[in-house]
Amino acid sequence: MDTTPLSGPSFSRRRFLQTTTVTAGAVAAGAALDLTAAAAETRPATLSFTAATNGAATLAPSGDRIVAEIQNVLWSIPREGGAATPLTTPELEPTRPQFSPDGRRLVVCAYRGGGFHLWLLAAGGGAPEQLTDGPWDDRAPAWSPDGTRVAFASERGGDPVTAGPYRIWVIDVRDGQLTRLTGAAGQSGPGQGGAWEDFDPTWSPDGTRVLFVRGVVTATGTLQTSTVASVAADGTGAVTTEHADDSGAQVMTPALSPRGRLAYLRTTPAPAASCTLVVDGAPVAVPGDLAPAPPRWTGDKSLLVTVDGTFRILRPDAPGDAEQIPFTAHLPLDRPRYRVKRYDFAAGGVHPVRALHLPALSPDGRSVAFAALNSLWVSGTSGGRAPRRIVRAPATRYVLAPTWTPDGTALVYADDRAGLFSVRRHDLATGKETVLAEGGRVFPALSPEGTRLACLDMSGNLVVRDLAAATEKVLAEPLGSGGLPGRPSWSPDGRYVALCDRGRLNQRFREGYNLIRVVDTTTGAAKLHAVAPHVSLADRYDSGPVWSPDGRTMAVVVESALWLLPVRPDGTPDGEPRQITDEAADHPSWAADSRRLLYLSAGKLRLLDLADGATRTIRVPLDQRRPRPADTVVHAGRLWDGTGDRVRDDVDISVEGGRITEVAPHRATRRPAVRRLDASDRTVLPGLWDSHTHPWQSTYGGRQTALQLAYGITTAVSLGGFAYEQARIREAVNAGALAGPRLLAT
């Protein structure tokens, strides 16, 4: 048994570093956003709901009403149905409500403040009371039968760097005392030969044991949940198996009736996703779409479940005769008035380039290399002269991530002209190019002596290549999936390589931290470090760590600001991080003197002198020109224009200035056009929209956008990507430098 008192109020993991400066976040946001487009006013509106999406519900012990989650709000609904009364505000974001046995209180898991914690509130509403806090997530609360304790699943007790698996805990609501029930040293139980997760607790009717789901992490890293286990409510003794589901599906949300009948949900993943209610070991044929919300016993013979967005009370032996609880919930809101973003698709015109991608400061601090318009450029750090184009990629290829050789005479970069990405060295004096690595290698970094190359392969492995011997070895595999790790950075003595990698806390959810990973190139041994406890690097793309040439610090981006982390020669943190910018910062790089530091802020190159704290903007006069497409006539054998079910045969489609100006019956004598396309034996239709894409050119190269065009996609909408790369792609496509669809992105 592990018993600890509950700590006092603390900051969430999102807010940890904000305690250092309260102004940095506001300044950074103001620098990065166009505030003229912000909402100047709002207009009231009311939305009405008669169904809930995956909402959980709980029946009052009196049986006269339920409390349910609908649109992140808790509502009280009469048992006979009717108007729903809100109990909470949307800011709480509560889920999985459960009445206390006496019906006077509710316990919920809520996301208020940026972390999942347990909250109590009066059954009739009112101000919620926070029950748990801290940097760890606490989920799935369950009242004890006597109403004095709440069991829940939590990462607490884990390590933010190594792992924070879910275990079962109990909190006494009278004094806040915490007791750990599972995962204690020396406690035996099923599935403990490797990693495991415990979650979704529920109590035995007599309150002496807590049942829960135990999931085992398989060799492939997935979580297999087929066991309902139990442990003594005081945390003593072994964990025992109560039920094993042999269906091959996943088990979740067990519940025990007053007489001990076991109900749970059995789910399967997409593309054949399903959710099945199981009672006494047998599936129940519930008509409709059963939501993965906890079933709640309303006695020994009936359960409250969510089906087709409605709340129903059913008997497992007669699921088709369920009692439905209809409701109408009216949710008032303030709908902001804002200026709709307008895109200029007109041909012609000159626009300044804003996306200077992955800039790198030269060793002498006098030049900057960067990618823009699908080319590599070098610009001076003073004088404001136009940059010099070094490499131009074909429109169906992609050029990426320039870095400098230690002597500053050449650039090392990656491009995919050979199909997969290769690493090349470009001599700035002669223009001579040498291939350093092939077969899908990105984000190159030369060692300080220039004889070894560190880079990533397409699986995210850290690869080190001996350039003289033409041999390479995989130094470290990535810690997880979900994109490549960050760019490698060498220690000054050439022994260590640091990069950002994903430290996944557990296999229950996809949460974790972007950590500093330092790998010893002589032994392959790796160590993980956090910038600060429960703090992430901003992303795994190019937020550091970037080792200073003198080896004393690493530059990192955290919560959009630039920080310096003191480190020892082996990369171990050696002090508290220090914030050095009050504006948004991305893509840091050092000069050889370890005094000057380059970064991007709101589309501008900024050069910081650490000696006096002075920062100046490096002006890069570079424009993009959108070419005017040739006037074109397409002879279509058949045209479907996307506006209905009518098809037009044998027509001419005239395109002028990139826009369709006329669709008319085909005439062989139609006035000549610069370009004519004969599609008389084909069907022509409007370009397609890819409404959910993620630009991932740093892995897929030019083929991602080229393939979109090949499939008829002429407009793509990014729902998440790296800001500078998205802007770079958009500008390159607009300028005709990259083959791809129009990209709409935030």
Residue 621, helix vs strand vs coil: coil
Average pLDDT over residues 496-518: 95
Regarding predicted confidence, which is higher, 118 or 629? 118
Entry pTM: 0.89
Q: How far apart are CA 293 and CA 54, in angstroms?
A: 6
- Over residues 392-421, the mean pLDDT reads 97
Q: Tens of pLDDT along 419-472?
A: 999 999 999 999 999 999 999 999 999 999 999 999 999 999 999 999 999 999
Q: Which of 10-19, 254-263, 672-681 holds the top average pLDDT?
A: 254-263
Residue 18 has a pLDDT of 38
- The torsion angles phi and psi of 734, rounded to 5 degrees, stand at -60, -35
Sheet holding 303-307, edge to edge: 296-297, 303-307, 310-315, 318-325
- 3-state helix, strand and coil shares in percent for the chain, rounded to the nearest 5: 5, 45, 45
- What is the structure's pLDDT at 129? 97
Q: What percent of the chain has pLDDT over 90?
A: 87
> CA separation (Å) from 372 to 72, 127, 624, 682?
43, 53, 10, 38
Q: What confidence score (pLDDT) does residue 42 get?
A: 83
Q: How far, in Å, CA of 461 to CA of 441, rounded? A: 10
> Token pair of 191, please?
């599935």
- Of 106-110, 196-200, 622-626, the least confident: 622-626
pLDDT band at 13 (very low <50, low <70, confident <90, very high): very low
Contacts of 535 (CB under 8 A, 6+ apart): 13, 16, 17, 513, 558
Q: Which two tokens stand for residue 457?
A: 């392969």
Residue in the block written with tokens 């709480």: 92
User: Of 650, 395, 682, 445, which Cα lies nearest the Cα of 546?
Assistant: 445
Q: How much is the average pLDDT of 663-682?
A: 88
Q: Tokens for 49?
A: 């709901």
Cβ contact 597:588 at 8 Å: yes
Cβ partners under 8 Å of residue 208, min gap 6 = 232, 233
C-alpha 190/C-alpha 214 separation (Å) is 8
The first and second tokens of residue 608, run together, are 């910081």
Report whether the peptide linkage leading into residue 402 is cis, meaning its omega lies within 30 degrees of zero. no
Per residue in 342-384, pLDDT (tens digit) is 877 776 778 899 999 999 999 999 999 999 999 999 999 999 9
Predicted pLDDT of residue 670: 74
Cα–Cα distances (Å) from 563 to 401, 576, 586, in that order, read 22, 10, 11
pLDDT digits 0-9 by tens, 88-120: 999 999 999 999 999 999 999 999 999 999 999
**Token pair listed for 136:** 């760890």
Confidence band of 9 (pLDDT split at 50, 70, 90) = very low
Residue 438's φ and ψ, nearest 5 degrees, are -130, 180
What is the mean predicted confidence (pLDDT) over 486-505?
97
Average pLDDT, the chain: 92
Q: Give bridge partners of residue 167 from the DSSP assignment.
A: 154
Percent of the chain with pLDDT over 70: 95
Characterize 302-329 residue by residue with b for buried, 16 or more Cβ atoms within 10 angstroms of its Cβ, and e for exposed. Answer: bbbbbbebbbbbbbbeebeebeebebeb
Residue 674: band (very low, low, confident or very high) from pLDDT cuts 50, 70, 90: confident
Q: Do 77 and 65 meet the contact criterion of CB atoms below 8 Å apart?
A: yes
Contacts of 61 (CB under 8 A, 6+ apart): 99, 101, 102, 103
pLDDT for 377 equals 99
The answer to whether 138 touches 12, Cβ cutoff 8 Å, is no
pLDDT given at position 23: 29
- Kindly state the average pLDDT of the residues 614-642: 93
Distance CA 565, CA 567 (A): 6
Q: List the structure tokens of 708.
A: 């979109």
Structural element, H or E, at residue 27:
helix 24-32
Instruction: Specify the pLDDT at position 647.
Output: 96
Q: How confident is the model at residue 388 (pLDDT cuts 50, 70, 90)?
A: very high
Cβ count near 82 (within 10 Å): 13
pLDDT on residue 347? 64
CB contact at 8 A, 225 and 241: no
Q: Number of C-alpha atoms within 13 angstroms, CB side, residue 450?
A: 11
Sign of the CA dihedral with 365 first, then 366, 369, and 370 last: positive
d(CA 378, CA 397): 20
The pLDDT of residue 20 is above 60: no
pLDDT of residue 5: 43
By the 10 Å C-beta count (0-12 exposed, 13-18 middle, 19+ buried), 670 is classed as middle
Q: Per-residue confidence at 233, pLDDT binned at 50, 70, 90?
A: very high
**Domains assigned to the chain:** 2-334 (2.120.10.30), 350-625 (2.120.10.30), 632-744 (3.30.110.90)
Pairwise CA distance, residues 286 & 284, whole Å: 6
Higher pLDDT, 423 or 15: 423
Q: pLDDT of 521-557, one tens digit each?
A: 999 999 999 999 999 999 999 999 999 999 999 999 9
